[in-house]
Amino acid sequence: MESLLIKGGVPLHGDVVISGAKNAVLPIMAAALLTREPCVIRRVPDLSDVRFMGQILTWLGAEVKMEPGTIRICARKIKGSGDYDLVRKMRGSICIMGPLLGRLRKATVSLPGGCVIGARPINLHLKGFEALGAKIRIERGYVQAQARKLVGAPMFLGGRAGSTVLGTANVMMAATLAEGVTVIESAACEPEIVDLANFLNAMGARIAGAGSPTVTITGVKELHGAEHEVIPDRIEAATYAIAAAVTNGEVTLHGARADHMRAVIDKLNEAGVAVERRGASMTVRRNGRLKAVDVTTLPYAGFPTDVQAQFMALMAVTPGISIITERIFESRFMHVSELTRLGADIEIEGPSAIIKGGKPLSGAPVMASDLRASAALVLAGLAARGTTQVNRVYHLDRGYERMDEKLRKLGARVQRIEES
């Protein structure tokens, strides 16, 4: 396995191009299974999760051609079951279930894996499929869904932590080929859902209301091929924005969508970080001393859970006491113990982390537990004195395109090495 070796204490300066959104491209790739015609997807990030999804689609029978920044998919003939060893590695792979059910009226998919950040049941996905007329059975680690026909229906997909992003995407894809009208209440409002709806509509689907809590899908008989450009990754953009702040540097993010990042920008401004928007770019730098702020993660358009760990790294170097409350995933504080190894003063009380910030961080070996925790440890390492070794960097490669290369272009002293 590989690690990142970071010599901290260098302010970042320069420009970084934001890649396509991981959480948008995976369901869009899956949506290509809904048609026999070729689909072309552009601004595709080079990530291990994207390559895994390409392998899953190939296993299902699709022709997948990956080029730099572009994927071409043609699913002329496909089968209705996903490979266990592939699907279990990545939670996002569950989104093949909706397209398979929509097109073939049957789907067999293994229960998915992914980051260890708490329980993420797929019961809302299955609830939606059942509302469309599918019969569900779970046995020996597989979910089996089957229907003679799918019929549109009203449904409520709200859960304990709010709406479900992948569940909304999955049901929305299946419903495009159902008879009649499907209305999803408490639908996820994330930009990635809007991006998927735009792709599906380009394929001939009839979807209205994406980006709001009520999404209406009027079923059609078939879909056709389409071309689509994926939205920029708002989580990657937030991570580099925080990297500029945590190192007291100045970084311009090219292609970042400020309208997708309002909650993050608001908290950065509150913390004393200036964000200057210039067309399709934004420049981030400190605006005086950093200030401690409180954050609570919420479904979109609230503060994203996927930025919680990175923001905690910033608060760890910010004088004062801040409280970060996690309302989406109950086990998403596994990075706390590793941040404390670098000198951060953080205590956990229930769903909240109390950060007594401002103490200098010092480099140490740390272990990444999940994708966003990896990013937080990298950010802390950039701010720390001395050398930090972030182990299990494969987590990082799931969601950040060549992060070490991008950081080096900003002046960071980062080296990828083989773990000893």
The label of the residue with tokens 């409520």 reads 156
Strands 154-156 and 181-185: parallel
| Tokens read off for 93 | 């792979």
Structure tokens at 86: 């592939």
Task: Single out the residue of 175, 36, 38 nearest to residue 102, CA to CA.
Answer: 175
Cβ atoms of 290 and 314 within 8 Å: the answer is yes
H-type alpha helices, 81-206: 84-87, 97-104, 123-131, 165-175, 191-202
Whole-angstrom CA distances from 78 to 57, 205, 327, 373 are: 9, 20, 39, 36
List 39, 74, 95, 115, catalytic entry: 115
CA distances in angstroms from 44 to 35, 229, 255, listed in the order given:
20, 8, 14
In one-letter notation, the amino acid at residue 128 is G
Please say whether the beta carbons of 104 and 75 come within 8 A: no
DSSP-derived secondary structure for 55-99: HHHHHTT-EEEEETTEEEEE-SS--SB--HHHHTT-GGGGGGHHH
Could you give the C-alpha distances from 185 to 220, 221, 254, 328, in angstroms and in order?
20, 24, 35, 19
Active site (annotated) includes residue 39: no
Active site residues: 115
